[in-house]
Structures are given as structure tokens and as C-alpha cells.
Amino acid sequence: MKKTMYEKIWDSHLVVDVEGQAPLIYVDRHLMHEVTSPQAFEGLKISGRKVRNPHSILATMDHCVPTKNRNLPIADLIARKQIETMAENCLENGLNLYDMKSPNNGVIHVVVPEHGFVHPGMVVVCGDSHTATHGAFGALAFGIGTSEVEHVMATQTLPQKKSKTMLVQVNGELSKYSTAKDIALAIIGKIGTAGGTGYVIEYAGDAIKALSMEGRMTLCNMAIEAGARAGLVAPDEKTYEYLNGKEFAPKSALWEQALAYWKSLPSDAGAEFDTVITLNAADIAPQVSWGTSPEQVIGVDAFVPAPESFDNEGKRKACESALAYMGLTPNMPITDIKIDYVFIGSCTNGRIEDFRSAAEVAKGTKVADGVTAIVVPGSYHVKEQAEKEGLDKIFIDAGWEWREPGCSMCLAMNGDELSKGQRCASTSNRNFEGRQGKGGRTHLVSPAMAAAAAAAGHFVDIRNL
């Protein structure tokens, strides 16, 4: 039988499949951060259970960590307690932790690939919806809740319902101004935030093959915003080249053995998917979200939609309330939207390639009057590499703040946040009400679009620069 990549990974990880119970699948890698794990450790302790496989776990601190004055104790006492609890839990259970002081520290979904901890064909989980990122390697990677974090620690397995499969085929070549982020947003704009519910998406087509590993991570990262359980890209030479030599990648004879296995993973020719969606890459303009859901997104050359342009009552109402919250008027050009803040970073766009593309646009410009612009590298390794290339200097000369790594303004848990009514061009993944601070307004864009908006003080079509 011809199988999709998802089906191959599923079948090879099935531990128990008995009538009347959810199938149990085996978990190869378990990623952790400070926010969604403490209650799982507590549960484990109360029930007298142990971590079954400590070497399957890699942990970091990212959500609550400050991005400046890192040498000082964390001022927020509740956040400090959470960070300390993480350190205690990892020590007690013998887990590998990249704490705040570690040169390996950073956002979990940036750090993990840097060390080659995830390989093709694995099942990977984390108490974090953006675990989907690691699908870029052809691993089945998905977010879980805290009860499930405890379940995986205790049993190395997870009861799972088999997902349906969706193929998102992106044909042709992307314009040089559009990025993986724009593909991700365009797909969500097309299928909606519930369009992928119940599915695992496999991204394929020439435009996907052409993406770098960083680009594929950005794309798969936002599979969750399309409602999907996970996103996948078939491994290829780029994947192998990226992994080769990394700390946790297989070495010598084992590398050859792993490689042979990885090459067997891509979906068989003619394998059937439950749903197929097709996009033409050349049609994807740089995207800007205008509302309070990632599906409320449009090309930068377009206009803010009017509620009456939607054909269903629910979407009309959602448009009305989004425009009210966002303080926008129907039919205004996207390029007329003025901004107060710019954030470049996050597990979506916090990798070296993102800072290179933003720096290219920021070079020789100045941040517009009244605009605050911050750059938050996804990890210390990204920061170091960027500094080696002189990117920090480009941003600082242009009037940006160059920060320490962390999740920062993606979800504004660490004190970096918008105040009421402020509007932000953000390279993160969610534009929900209050996500970047109560009353804050978020527009999701690519790093280059964010850099252009910082200099102009409003959105600009980077194709015209």
C-alpha cells in the first residue's frame, strides 16, 4: 500500500492499538519550557512516578526570561519562582537544561534544531503549540497539554487519535520579496484557522523544496495557526546537510544507517491524501494581518476589508469586532496603517536568516519618529552569529534595540509588551486580542516587511523599495 509520510511515522510508532482505547504512540523526543511543565512534575511526584527516559528530554527557559539586564535577578517574583522551579525539576530528574545563563539558551523551537536534537521520522512533543516547527525536518511534532507532558514523562507514550492527511501543494517560484512567512499566512488566509483541524498537513511543491531549513521551520511553525495538529516537509539533501555534524546528530556508521532510513520517509508517489490544497507561489504577495485572527490577513497591496465583503454572518461579525479592536476603517489601504512598535523575533522568525533579511532592509535607514523597534534573537547562538556578521551594528545604527534571546513580545509574558492602543508590526505568529499586551494591536508580517515598516512608520510594499 502506498503511504504518506505521516502514515509511515504513525505506523512505526504504534505501541498499542486495542479495541476500545485510543492508540498509544511512542515519543522519541520531549521538549520543555518553564510555563507548561511545573504542574506535570508536581503530578509525577504526587503519584510516585519517575521520568522514564531522561535522555529524550531537552529543556530551556524562554517564555518568562527578560531580554535586557539579564545579569540582574528577575524582578517579577512569580516569574522568578517559575524559572527556579524549572531548574529544580530538571536537576532532580537528571534532565538536560539550557538555563538562562547557558550559552545554548534561547527559544525552545530555535535551540532544538541548532543542536540537531530532532531528526526525520521522529515523534516529538512539547507543551507548546508551536512544536509544529520541527515538522520542517520530516518529524511528526506537535503541541500537548500539561497532563500529556506528565503522561509522556511517565510512559514515553501518548494516547492519540490518528489524524487525517492534507497535502498543501505550493507550486512555482516565490517572488524574491515574499518569504516562508508569507506562504504560511497566505495558506491560513485561504483555509482559515480551523481549516486544518483534525489534519496533519504535508507541505510540498517547488516553492517548498526551494525553502531553506529556516524557511521550512517558519512554515511548519504556523501549521498550528491553520488549526492542524502538525505540519511536515519531506526530508531532502538540505535537511541532511543541516543536521550533519550537529551535537545530537548521528555520527559515522550510525549516520549512514540513519540516512538510509530518512530517505525512506517521504510520501510514496501516488499516496492518497484526504484533502489537497493548491497555491501558486508567484501569486503570494508580502502579507499583513489586519484583524485579531491569523486568518484575517491580506496582501500588502490590498485594502482593509469591509464586513459586508464576507459572505457568511460569522465572518462578518468577526470582521466588525476585529476592525473595532484594531482601530481600522474598511477599505483603507494597508500601506496607510501607521505603527508605533516593531518586533522581530520569536520561534516563527527568530533565526539567522530572518535577521539577515531584516538587516538588508534596515541597512542605512532610521527608525521613524515615535516608533520603538526591537530585535530579539531566537537564541544566544543566533545572536552570536548575527554579531559576527555585523547585523547588530546595522540595527543599532538604524535606531533599533538589540536584545538578549527569549520569546519576548510574541506573547509578552516577560514584561516586553505593548500598552493600550499601541500598534505593532510583528514577526510573531498570533494577532489575538491582548496577545502583545492588553489593548495592544498586532499585525503579523515577515522580517523584511517589519524592517521596512520601522523605517517608514507605516506598512510599505517592499516590492516598491
Partner 1 sequence: MQPYTKHESIAALMNRSNVDTDQIIPKQFLKKVERSGFGVHLFHDWRYNDDGSDNAEFELNKPAFKGAKILVAGDNFGCGSSREHAPWAIADYGFNTIISTSYADIFYNNCFKNGILAIIVSQAQLDALMAEIAANEGVKFTVDLENRQVTTPAGNGFTFEIDPFRQGNLLSGLDDIGLTLKHVDKIDQYEVQHKQNYPWLWA
Cβ proximity to partner 1: between 85 and 212 the closer is 85
Cβ proximity to partner 1: between 249 and 382 the closer is 249
Of 216, 423, 430, 443, the residue at the interface with partner 1 (CB under 8 A) is: 430
Site string for partner 1, 301-320 (x = CB under 8 A): -------------x--xx--
422 is a site residue for partner 1 (CB under 8 A): no
Cβ proximity to partner 1: between 134 and 151 the closer is 151
421 is a site residue for partner 1 (CB under 8 A): no
Site string for partner 1, 338-377 (x = CB under 8 A): ----------------------------------------
405 is a site residue for partner 1 (CB under 8 A): no
Of 60, 289, 293, 379, the residue at the interface with partner 1 (CB under 8 A) is: 293
The residue behind cell 525552545 is: 108
Helix/strand/coil for 440? coil
Residue list 70-99, contact with partner 1 (CB under 8 A): 76, 78-79, 81-82, 85
Cβ proximity to partner 1: between 42 and 268 the closer is 42
413 is a site residue for partner 1 (CB under 8 A): yes
344 contacts 374 by C-beta, under 8 angstroms: yes
Task: For residue 246, give the C-alpha cell.
Answer: 550537529
Phi–psi pair at 384, nearest 5 degrees: -60, -45
Residue list 97-156, contact with partner 1 (CB under 8 A): 119, 121-122, 127-129, 142-148, 150-151, 154-156
324 is a site residue for partner 1 (CB under 8 A): no
- How far is the CA of 454 from the CAs of 139, 202, 350, 363, in angstroms? 36, 34, 17, 12
Cβ proximity to partner 1: between 127 and 350 the closer is 127
Cβ proximity to partner 1: between 41 and 395 the closer is 41
384 is a site residue for partner 1 (CB under 8 A): no
Distance CA 97, CA 115 (A): 13
Cβ proximity to partner 1: between 23 and 457 the closer is 23
Task: For residue 172, give the C-alpha cell.
Answer: 512555482
26 contacts 123 by C-beta, under 8 angstroms: yes
The Cα angle at residue 217 between residues 65 and 383, in degrees rounded to 5: 45
Of 3, 39, 275, 333, the residue at the interface with partner 1 (CB under 8 A) is: 39
The residue among 428, 431, 418, 352 whose CA lies nearest residue 391 is: 352
221 is a site residue for partner 1 (CB under 8 A): no
Please choose, out of 2-10, 43-51, 231-239, 379-387, the segment that lies near partner 1 by the rule CB under 8 A: 43-51
Please choose, out of 19-27, 92-100, 210-218, 345-353, the segment that lies near partner 1 by the rule CB under 8 A: 19-27
CB of 417 to partner 1, least distance (A): 9
Name the strand (E) or helix (H) holding 149: helix 146-155
CB of 279 to partner 1, least distance (A): 22
Residue list 228-267, contact with partner 1 (CB under 8 A): 229, 250-251, 254-255, 257-258, 261
The number of C-alpha atoms within 13 Å of 66 and in the hemisphere containing its C-beta is 13
Burial state string for 247-285 with b = 16 or more CB within 10 A and e = fewer than 16: ebbbeeeeeeebeeebeebbbeeebebeeebebebeebb
284 contact partners, CB below 8 Å, separation of at least 6: 174, 175, 178, 182, 183, 186, 299
197 contacts 227 by C-beta, under 8 angstroms: yes
Task: For residue 112, give the C-alpha cell.
Answer: 532544538
269 is a site residue for partner 1 (CB under 8 A): no
460 contacts 377 by C-beta, under 8 angstroms: no
For residue 442, what are the β-bridge partners? 424
